Each structure stands twice: as structure tokens, then as C-alpha cells.
Amino acid sequence: MQINSTRHLDKLCAAAHASRTAERCWSGITRFFENCKKKVAGKKGFPKFKKNQRSVEYKKAGWSLSEDRKFVTFTDKNKIGKLKLIGTRDLHFYQKDEIQRVRLVKRADGYYCQFVIDSDLASEEVEPTAKCIGLDMGLTDFYTDSDGNKVDNPKYLRQSEKALKRLQRRVSKKFKGSSNKKKAINQLGRKHLKVSRQRKDFAIKLARCVMKSNDFVVYEDLKIKNMVKNHSLAKSISDVSWGIFKEWLQHYALKFGKVAFAVSPHYTSQECSNCGAIVKKTLSIRTHICKCGCVLDRDENAAINILMKGLRLMGYILNTVGHTEINACGEKTLYLDLETFLKQGHSLKQESHL
């Protein structure tokens, strides 16, 4: 919820909260020594002092909500006082005991108040669709599923790149320390914030649609941190927001009582989905052509392989050579078994240990 008063908040964000600062310091030191003991490759995360704070967090004490839930009052020594809350979220739905923490966060377009609620994930009843799909992530298309359907990559950063460059030039032309430079920096920050929100909004809505339309979803376990080391594709990989999409797939799978999990992406593009033979091809080759006569789009072939990997891991397919048994066993039998499996209440976390 956005707040419409910024009195003393800049000072508060700079000073931060004493108890929260101590927690961050201790957790940083602990993480550093754990990484050293485990001999983690690369940087170990040596704790560094962070001068500019953009958020402050309160626990149970130091704040209070008004009876009408439209105002929040901070009673600590920072003298923030009473702030009005602006938003559509109805806080009457939650009791004060359920609110574990309150955060004040500074964004480019204003200050926000976040309430951390201790509650179970509200489940939503959705009728089973008796469908299972595999998803192959891409840069040209956001994903291609095992049925051959494609979702275009919106490329929000690429669309806004011209405007971002123009705003960046304005910032560089302003005098350091001037009010005009601060305004230009704020305009640039607002544009970046809009791009970030567009990505998140797209990923959330798409993940909800995918999980609502299917009972069993398998996707690639991509190592995005390693993939962005390719400087030719780093910007495109960051812009496509695969990580956010996977997180919300997991969220809606638990919410709707369905199954979504990741499998290793190795050889999913090279292996033939019909006979299992390895057909080597570079990134520029977009069509899968096998000696067995199978001709498919490269991404669709990979999506089918991803789905088959997931079905094998769950025990629905027992063969390891080719994928002809999926047609032999029949869709109705597969879907009935899957529906029985879903009714048993197995979550993704439980299945991952099998």
C-alpha cells in the first residue's frame, strides 16, 4: 500500500532500524563463514557496509494501525508519526496478531508500506483439465509447449530501450548535485521501475493461465545465473524473466493443488522425441529433422522431451528408449492415473524427494 506522506522517511531509510541492521550484519557474517566452510566456488560473500538503505523493517513493536485501518502510526524515536495508507487492499481481513512485520520501502515513484502476514496459502478449487504439458523456454518465443503452442516474448526492455537511453543522456548532461539532476534521475528510475513491473505482471498472469489450464506442467531447470555470463545474450536473458515465471508456476501449483516441477535441460534439444536418437544442431538450426522421418520445430521437439522426462521421473513412463509408449498406453489411462495422483494431495516439494 502506498503512503502519501514522506516526512522523515529519507532520514529513516538512511539510518535504518537498529535491530534489523544487527540481524543483517549477523546473517551476512554467518553466510560468509558457511560459504568458506563449504568451499563455494567464486566469491564467498564477504559482508560489506551498505550506506544507502531503501527500506526499514519493524517487527511487532514500534507501530500501530488505526481502527479504520487507513492510518499507520510509528511510535519509535525516529518521530515519523502518523501516515495515511492509500490502496485497495482491505486490511480488516487480517487481525493485528497475523501481521508479523511492517516494512517501509522507497521506490522511484514514492514510498510503500508492506505488511508481512502469517497465514496459510489460500487454496482455490479448480476443476481438473486432464492435461499435461512440457514447456521449453526461449528468447524468440517466451515458451513453446509440447502441443506446439507458442507465447511471444514481449521484450519490455527492448521496447523501452530508446526512451531509457534518452533519459540516461538527460541525467549525464545535468550538473552534479543540482535539483534538475535529481529530477532526471527520478524520471530514469521510474522508467526502469515500469519495465520491471511489466515483466512481473506478464509472468504472473501467464503462470496462472498455464497452471489453471493444465494439471501437470514440466519445465526446464535453467541455470540463469550461469547463462547471463554470455555477454551476447545477457540482456535478452535478463529481459525475458524466466526466474519470476518459474517462481509463480510453483506458487499457483500449490494454490490450485496441481503439479509443476523442473527437469534437467540436457540434450532436450538434441534428442529426437520420436525415436530417441541424438541429432546434433547449432542454435541457428530451428527445425528438428531426424532419420526416422520426424520433422518438428526445434522448440516443440524439446518441449516434448521435457514432458517425457517429467513423466518418467513420476513413473508414468517406464521405457528409456524413444517415446512411443506414451501413445501405446493411451491418453485416458495416463490422465486417470494423473488425476488419482493429484487427488492424493501430493505437493511439488513432496514429489521432489522421490
| 220 has catalytic annotation | yes
Provide the CA 169 distance to its chain's centre, in angstroms.
31
User: Nine-digit cell at 133?
Assistant: 504439458
Q: Indicate which residue of 145, 239, 299, 300 is catalytic.
A: 299
| 136 has catalytic annotation | yes
Q: Indicate which residue of 57, 220, 239, 300 is catalytic.
A: 220
- Taking the alpha carbons at both ends of the chain, their separation in whole angstroms is 41
| 57 has catalytic annotation | no
Q: Indicate which residue of 136, 145, 215, 300 is catalytic.
A: 136
List, by residue number, the catalytic residues.
136, 220, 299
